[in-house]
Chains A and B, each alone.
Chain A
């Protein structure tokens, strides 16, 4: 039983096809190359702006690595095919944008419940509905978390630059393989279409994770059982004679449906949650800038993290003690760290390209101790350094007045 993409010859191919060095490319392309380096060998998708360049790059590059590209008839079929391929041992991915992401939600839930590793890229665009189809946005924060139905955990990661898109895609694959869960890459149309320099590494520099397979027939009998006590069941792949049954209905550890016993549903759904909660430290990732003494703490993600950092640097020049934390794993949210940092802060600003989504997660952890203020912009144009700086300055001003009272 093998996970395709881990053959030794693949390293040689990667080295020859994409030699180490500096490249100039779009975020969408960087996501595709990240997937190739992560071992992705199956892509099924449906064209949608601003994610189509991922499909185009995969269609061109995957055959060179003996990987498969299929353009499906719609987004629902795309993620369905990705789930099917994943059960045969192929590292698999699909990419879409807002409306396509909505169509994928039911089968995303299927992947969560059947613990199927896959990467779903959502290159966020302006909405609701068709919105400004060609413009970037950050409006799918909660669609990633709560888009499908039922109680379920999810992992979503979000890159802040073209180079970061490459590395976060690899991390998305690794998390997905390790924890047997679909991982969402919440990219956005602005970084997706921005061209920047990125450094492509040697394949040996990239740490790659492969899903755990059953060690023997006995383990293979429990495709949804916690046989190792780490809450992550080994995955018996199709085609190996294990007669595995996989269903989106509530199932017992052996895979067979049982929708009538409350304990079976409770046990399964709680394990899925615990699997992620227990490994939160490994899953969560964030970056901090000037947070040691920050009185004004900025919390920002994805494309908005960049003007936020610019604004923090400008504010420091003006003697304002501003700092920035950027969650790279947006779900599960690194709220505990933000709470810690908030103890030194008099104001928290949350810049994002929506009318306030991640801010709700921040408020959930901070509660009323510190004012949490959104810096929001919609319309398809990213926030600027000046716009965010203005908010930092007025927060600093307000604080001075408060301490003078």
Chain B
């Protein structure tokens, strides 16, 4: 018997019905992210025809691609931002959004992430950080907390997690924020801001994976993970006055960076106009 699909919810109009139900596990934070994204699009009144969503490989790559009803490009592992770069150059007037996971964007795709931030290309990245490689079976990720248990760190993780938001902020992005799936309304506001800001923007969403991460780390229900997020989150304003020891294992939330700087596709088109103008004036014949 076919599964019942609940389509009465207003945001369902943004979803590709024929692709439902989603492949996400029960209790996954991915649904919250998709919902927050749909709400942000709705509140900003962005026409989905003006949207291209790009993603890579893994659970979080599925959040909007294929489910969001827009042009969607589901790419190879780690390369979503590089694909999106070509899309944005070709369609500078459209909103280009990358939604993918921490392993995809910050692990294998880390190089593209920092260089897109440096370039400050107008792409909005929603990076879903669930501390784990979920779809491949719960292996250690570049974001797995020190000491955590995963299928490839069965004794404990002896590596230190990458601070994604901090890294991207220092790489030169225009806008960087971090929230958890517990902070839904703040998350929607940040996604809205990221979509509006001209330049590279990153919203890191710390999200629960009860099935692959929580279960092995004494938080087997989604609610337990959300409680952990709520208890462990420190607003960035407060974190500024805390020592590194006090911040160990905490999740710093809030806006890290919000600044204006020249954007890549705009600069590229400006440069093209200048060069083309020079040549249409017969600049080459003059020298």
Interface residue ranges, A against B (CB under 8 Å): 4, 13, 16-17, 42, 44, 63-68, 70, 72-74, 76-78, 80-90, 92, 106-107, 110, 238-249, 254, 256-257
A76 touches B79 (CB 8 A): yes
Binds A, one of B1-9, B67-75, B146-154, B214-222: B67-75
B72 touches A73 (CB 8 A): no
* Complexed CA–CA distance, A245 and B74 (Å): 8
A84 touches B70 (CB 8 A): no
* Complexed CA–CA distance, A84 and B75 (Å): 10
**Option from A13, A66, A81, A249 in Cβ contact (under 8 Å) with B82:** A81
B265 smallest CB distance to A (angstroms): 9
A-B contact count (CB 8 A): 147
**Option from B88, B111, B275, B279 in Cβ contact (under 8 Å) with A77:** B111
Write out the residue numbers on chain B whose beta carbons fall within 8 Å of the beta carbon of A246.
Answer: 72-74
Q: List 18 A-B contacts (CB under 8 A).
A: A4-B90, A44-B85, A70-B268, A77-B112, A80-B85, A81-B89, A84-B84, A85-B86, A86-B86, A87-B87, A88-B90, A238-B71, A238-B90, A243-B48, A243-B72, A244-B71, A245-B74, A246-B74
Residue ID in chain B nearest A12 by CB atoms: B280
B272 touches A68 (CB 8 A): yes
Write out the residue numbers on chain A whose beta carbons fall within 8 Å of the beta carbon of B72.
Answer: 243-246
* Complexed CA–CA distance, A256 and B62 (Å): 12
B74 touches A248 (CB 8 A): yes
Q: Say what secondary structure dominates the interface of chain A.
A: mixed
Q: What 10 additional pairs, Cβ within 8 angstroms, besides A77-B111, A245-B71, A254-B18?
A: A65-B276, A70-B89, A72-B82, A86-B86, A89-B90, A238-B73, A243-B16, A243-B71, A245-B72, A248-B74
Judge whether B54 is part of the interface by a CB distance below 8 angstroms.
yes
B181 smallest CB distance to A (angstroms): 25
B85 touches A42 (CB 8 A): no
| 5 smallest beta-carbon distances between A and B, as pairs | A88-B90, A84-B86, A80-B82, A81-B86, A85-B86
Judge whether B19 is part of the interface by a CB distance below 8 angstroms.
yes
Write out the residue numbers on chain B whose beta carbons fall within 8 Å of the beta carbon of A84.
Answer: 54, 73, 82-90
Write out the residue numbers on chain A whose beta carbons fall within 8 Å of the beta carbon of B52.
Answer: 238-239
Write out the residue numbers on chain B whose beta carbons fall within 8 Å of the beta carbon of A65.
Answer: 276
* Complexed CA–CA distance, A17 and B75 (Å): 37
Within 8 A of A (CB), among B265-287: 268, 271-272, 275-276, 279, 284
* Complexed CA–CA distance, A397 and B112 (Å): 60
Judge whether B66 is part of the interface by a CB distance below 8 angstroms.
yes
Residue ID in chain B nearest A61 by CB atoms: B275
B69 touches A243 (CB 8 A): yes
